[in-house]
Amino acid sequence: MVIPVTLTNLGGYDLTKGAKILLKVINNGQYSTRSTTDIAELKSLQSITVNVPYVPLAGDITNSKVTIKVEAEVDGIDVDTSDNSITRELSTMQGVEIKLDLGTVGKATVDTAYEIPFAVTNIGNVATTKPIQIKYDLFDEATKTYKPHGQTLTIINLLAPGTSASIKLQFPAKSMAKVYSLWAVLYSDEDFSKSNNEQVFELEVIPVAPQGQGTQPPGGSSSGSSSSGSGRRGGSGGGVIVPKVIPKPIPDTKAGGKVNIKVTEDSVVSSLGLTFKGNQPAGFINFISLDDVPVGIPAPPYDVYAYFEIRHDSILNVNLDEVELLFKVEEEWLAAREASKDDIILLRYNNDWELMPVIYLNSDVRYHNYQADLPGLSVFAIAKKNAGFDEAPEEEEKPKKPINWVAVIIIILVLLIVGGALIFLAIRNKPQTGKPDLQSTVQKLKGQGYSESQIRGMMYKKGADMQKLEEILKKIK
């Protein structure tokens, strides 16, 4: 959420050194600064309204209320600070409210794993701080009860109010064509009402269509999938998508400051460097490894090595001044495709796949290392260039015309004659300027600090009248 704050300069002088608006929240009995907003300048009797960001946390709520304090700090002399802070209570803060939504479910095929899409949304007004688990049970005909089935996924990255996370649960391959009844359940210790955490649905498994007939249903795996499925783990586009989330903390950083984040776990990302334009409150950034392109994003037309997402709910792209990404690619993957280290590209999704500039850094026994400067953070794909990628067509070599040497010689003669005439005229018309007389030259040298012996030596070399020189030296002593 954002809190509108109006700052007014009631004094008779312009505020030129800037001001700061601090948002503080009572958490565990004491105020904690959550955000800082800079004001560059404020003229006399002028007002400015800014939207101060605030992401509530569960520890901020006491009896369904949050107590906030907004303070103005001036870089300079403020003759009256009595009206520089305001304290308010935000009521009806119910906390974290998680909702589990079921995506579009198609039909699975016999002996093929299937992915069931879900969206987990925080519809409350407080951000999550604890893990969220999602799993599903399968209805057992013999006992007439739902029994645990499939894997459990865990979301450990922060979900700010109004944000969602897309996940896919795996329905394993079944050898029998029938309709299966499933019950998906979400678990969260922070969920306020626990009233939107279930989805009961059916999934139909159908026989495999004969070769050349029919198409693979949405969500299923297929050996004929596009190049997006050629991930670094050797998959073919099918199988369950189990996002691996690596959270990394970001410290409170002032404007112009830089944060270097090292990713040492199993990730294609080696490190991330962030430089901020304005003040950046402390928070988390999540590195999410994906085995396939996320739901709702088209696959790029390349042989993809890996998909990953850098999620930054507490960071705005507009506050990023510089983003430096270091990533790596396995030599084994390139060798299997008869590709070289120079064939790697990086794509960023921003309503469409955009090509990012990549610099090759170095290699070790297993990996090739690369660097990319990014305009912001998003979903990324590391891929191999296609044949003829970004290559300009060669221009056809035009046949050379024979040189007319007679014409060349005539042109040279004309230039020599014209040039000689111009030089003669320039010399003849050059104004004659008399040389400075000996006395003025000696006076100038004396003024520059030269001794008489130094002046004699200099004038002797220039062929001056030495007798006259001695007379001048006597006069100007």
The CATH number given to whatever domain includes residue 59 is 2.60.40
- Kindly report the number of other CB atoms within 10 A of residue 292's CB atom: 22
CA angle 42, 43, 49 (to 5 degrees): 45
Asked if 170 and 297 sit in the same domain, the reply is no
Asked if 214 and 334 sit in the same domain, the reply is no
> Is 415 domain-assigned?
no
What pLDDT, on a 0 to 100 scale, did the predictor assign at position 304?
Answer: 92
Phi and psi dihedrals of 334, rounded to 5? Answer: -65, -45
Asked if 237 and 281 sit in the same domain, the reply is yes
What pLDDT, on a 0 to 100 scale, did the predictor assign at position 216?
Answer: 38
Phi and psi dihedrals of 234, rounded to 5? Answer: 80, 15
Give the Cα separation of 113 and 317 in Å (integer): 37
* Domain termination residue (choose one: 34, 61, 90): 90
Cα distances (angstroms) measured from residue 455 to each of 438, 444, 452, 470, 477: 11, 10, 5, 10, 13
> Is 418 domain-assigned?
no
Report the greatest alpha carbon distance in the chain. Answer: 134
Contact predicate 36/19, CB 8 Å: no
Q: How do the pLDDT tens digits run along the chain, 477 residues long? A: 667 888 887 777 777 777 888 878 777 778 888 788 888 787 877 888 887 777 777 677 776 677 888 888 876 666 567 677 888 777 655 678 888 888 888 888 888 888 899 999 888 778 888 889 898 888 877 777 778 876 788 887 778 888 888 888 888 888 788 888 888 888 888 887 777 788 888 888 888 755 444 433 333 333 333 333 334 433 333 333 345 777 788 888 888 889 988 886 578 899 999 999 888 888 778 888 887 888 788 999 999 999 998 887 667 778 888 899 999 999 999 999 999 999 999 999 988 999 999 999 998 888 999 999 998 888 999 999 887 655 433 434 444 456 666 666 667 766 677 666 666 565 555 544 455 678 888 887 777 777 787 787 777 767 788 888 888 888 876
What pLDDT, on a 0 to 100 scale, did the predictor assign at position 217?
Answer: 36
Contact predicate 139/148, CB 8 Å: no
Q: Tell me which residue has tokens 């280290």.
A: 341
Asked if 45 and 158 sit in the same domain, the reply is no
Asked if 277 and 312 sit in the same domain, the reply is yes
**Full residue range of the structural domain in which residue 106 is found:** 95-220
Classify the C-alpha dihedral 292-297-299-304 as positive or negative: negative
> Is 344 domain-assigned?
yes
> Is 190 domain-assigned?
yes
Total tally of structural domains belonging to the chain:
4
What is the C-alpha R_g of the chain? 38
What pLDDT, on a 0 to 100 scale, did the predictor assign at position 137?
Answer: 86
* Domain termination residue (choose one: 90, 119, 138): 90
- Kindly report the number of other CB atoms within 10 A of residue 37's CB atom: 19
Residues 6+ apart with CB under 8 A from 411: none
